Amino acid sequence: MKTIVAPFLFLILITTTADASAISYREHIKPIFDSQCISCHGESAPEYKAFKLDKSKWKAQNLGPRMDSYTYLVYFTGWPDTGALMRRLDSEKPGNMYQHLGSTEQEREKNLSLFKAWVGGWTLKRFKDITKEEISAIKVVY
């Protein structure tokens, strides 16, 4: 029995986790963002360009660039700040955002996989290195 059930369950698991179109901003990403990221990337945070003009001032207040809407957040996926979200989440290096994904390793891994499924074509490349095909693979479903 086990030998029949196990591969079947595995198949359900990959089909449910790999279906990026089922992972949406409204249903999956916003709730994670609102509990894990908004304290530093919410309405009191500056627009990305304003952040860049005076990084040290904002960082001293523990604020990063504002990302608290669908439109703000996708700015950090495809264009113009290509791959920024992916680079910051896909690395456990100190100063990166992976650590904020959850309070346990299990929660961080789970939330990272949701972000990955939401983005679709997960790439760490910057705009100068990315191909048109790779940009098109970024799905970010609303």
- Does position 37 bind ligand HEC by CB under 6 A? yes
Query: φ, ψ for residue 104 (rounded to 5)?
Result: -125, 160
Stretch that binds ligand HEC, among 7-15, 20-28, 33-41, 132-140 (CB under 6 A): 33-41
Q: In what helix (H) or strand (E) does residue 16 lie, and over which residues does it extend?
A: helix 2-18
d(CA 124, CA 142): 21
Interacting span for ligand HEC (CB under 6 A) from 1-9, 11-19, 38-46, 125-133:
38-46
Q: Does 40 bind ligand HEC (CB under 6 A)?
A: yes
Check binding of 140 to ligand HEC (CB under 6 A): no
Distance of alpha carbon 64 from alpha carbon 40, whole angstroms: 6
* Positions 79 through 98 that interact with ligand HEC (CB under 6 A): 81, 84-85, 88-89, 97
Binding residue for ligand HEC, selected from 15, 39, 69, 131, defined by CB under 6 A: 39
State the virtual CA torsion across 40, 139, 31, 126 in degrees, nearest 10: -20
Nearest distance from C-beta of residue 57 to ligand HEC, angstroms:
11
Cβ at position 131, least distance to ligand HEC in Å? 21
Rounded to whole angstroms, what are the CA distances from 135 to 39, 122, 139, 142? 29, 10, 9, 17
Picking from 29, 16, 42, the residue whose alpha carbon sits closest to that of residue 77 is 29
Rule CB under 6 A: which residues touch ligand HEC?
36-37, 39-41, 59, 62, 64-65, 76, 81, 84-85, 88-89, 97, 100-101
